[in-house]
Structure 1
Amino acid sequence: MAVDTSAIGTELSATRLVVDEGRLRFFAKSIGECNPIFTDRQAAEAAGYPALPVPPTFLFAIELDRPDPFDWVADLGIDLRHVLHGEQRFGYRTQAYAGDELIARPRIVDVYAKKGGALEFVVKETSVVRADGELVADLKSVLVVRHPEVGQ
């Protein structure tokens, strides 16, 4: 089933997350980050940071903190068994730290097809701001939806 292009412009539910030191340590270790500024508060402070800095790709995980992080995909009628993560981009504006309350505000900005409809692409942009409204980063992700029933 084709993704309805009327989804373009849809604002999805925002996600709030207070960044926790333990979570940052776990994330840094899980991605193999060895720089102690991401896991040791004293090392971060010695390097001039006010707290543990958020590792570069951590912001992607904010939306995964929702009770059902893929409900919007199902709402579009997409079968998760046919979804591939196609692209992820980060545009950083300022550094985030442990203790910050971050809000991720995603919206669907494009839906298009290739290969005669066998592949569809859903482009989502997410603005990540602090609770005071300061822009931290702009994220872009692309989901690829395979339609195996469509001949190529």
Structure 2
Amino acid sequence: MPVDTGIIGSRTAPHSVEVERGRLRFFAQATGQQDPLYTDPDAAGAAGHRDLPVPPTFYFCLEMDNPNRGRFLADLGIDLRTILHGGQTFEYHAQAYAGDTLTFETEVTDVYSKKGGALEFIVRATHVTRDGEPVATLTSTTVVRAELASTTVVHDPKAAT
């Protein structure tokens, strides 16, 4: 079933997340970050930051805190087994820090198809703000593979061979 282009412009309800130092330290460790700027508030302060800075791709982790993150595709009736991650970009407007409360709101910006409708693309932009001011824009593309008719072959042991 084709994705309805009428969803372009639709938005999710905003959700807010407080950036925690412990999560930033864990992210730095998990990604192999050795710079104490991302784990030590004193080192961050010496570098001119007011607290631990949020690393660029950490916004994606915070976006995943949306309590309704799976609802969008479910509401469209899209089977999760048919989706692929098609790409992601980040645009930065301001530095965020531990202790900040960031608000995430996602908007569908495009829907299009390729390969005669076999692949459909949903492009969404997540606007990240702090106190109403832009911090980052995360753009992601979800690819939906057209569901094929069942090709499962069931072997019937009673059938003649």
Q: Return the TM-score normalized by structure 1.
A: 0.92
Q: In terms of Rg, which structure is larger?
A: 2
Q: Is 1:72–2:109 an aligned residue pair? A: no
Counterpart for residue 31 of structure 1: 31
Q: CA deviation at 1:103?
A: 0.2
User: What CA distance in whole angstroms lies between the structure 1 residues aligned with 2:31 and 2:114?
Assistant: 33
Counterpart for residue 139 of structure 1: 138
Q: CA deviation at 1:33?
A: 2.1
SS in 2 for 1:3: coil
Asked if the contact 1:123–1:142 (Cα under 8 Å) also holds between the matched residues in 2, the reply is: yes
Q: CA deviation at 1:148?
A: 4.4
Specify the code of the residue in structure 2 equivalent to 1:107. E
Specify the code of the residue in structure 2 equivalent to 1:7. I
Counterpart for residue 103 of structure 1: 103
* 1:11-31 residue CA offsets vs partner (Å, 9 max, x unmatched): 112120010000111122222
User: What CA distance in whole angstroms lies between the structure 1 residues aligned with 2:31 and 2:143?
Assistant: 24
Number of aligned pairs? 149
User: What CA distance in whole angstroms lies between the structure 2 residues aligned with 1:35 and 1:75?
Assistant: 42
User: What CA distance in whole angstroms lies between the structure 1 residues aligned with 2:69 and 2:32?
Assistant: 24
User: What CA distance in whole angstroms lies between the structure 1 residues aligned with 2:9 and 2:115?
Assistant: 24
Counterpart for residue 13 of structure 1: 13
Output the aligned Cα RMSD: 1.3
Deviation above 4 Å: which 4+ runs of structure 1? none
Q: CA deviation at 1:60?
A: 1.3
Counterpart for residue 118 of structure 1: 118
User: What CA distance in whole angstroms lies between the structure 1 residues aligned with 2:137 and 2:67?
Assistant: 23
Q: CA deviation at 1:68?
A: 3.4
Asked if the contact 1:15–1:62 (Cα under 8 Å) also holds between the matched residues in 2, the reply is: no
Q: CA deviation at 1:8?
A: 0.7
* 1:118-145 residue CA offsets vs partner (Å, 9 max, x unmatched): 1110000111100x21110111110111
Q: CA deviation at 1:74?
A: 1.0
Q: Return the TM-score normalized by structure 2.
A: 0.87
Structure 2: gaps spanning 5 or more residues: 150-161
SS in 2 for 1:65: coil
User: What CA distance in whole angstroms lies between the structure 1 residues aligned with 2:113 and 2:75?
Assistant: 18
Q: CA deviation at 1:105?
A: 1.0
Structure 1: gaps spanning 5 or more residues: none
Asked if the contact 1:3–1:77 (Cα under 8 Å) also holds between the matched residues in 2, the reply is: no
User: What CA distance in whole angstroms lies between the structure 1 residues aligned with 2:65 and 2:58?
Assistant: 12
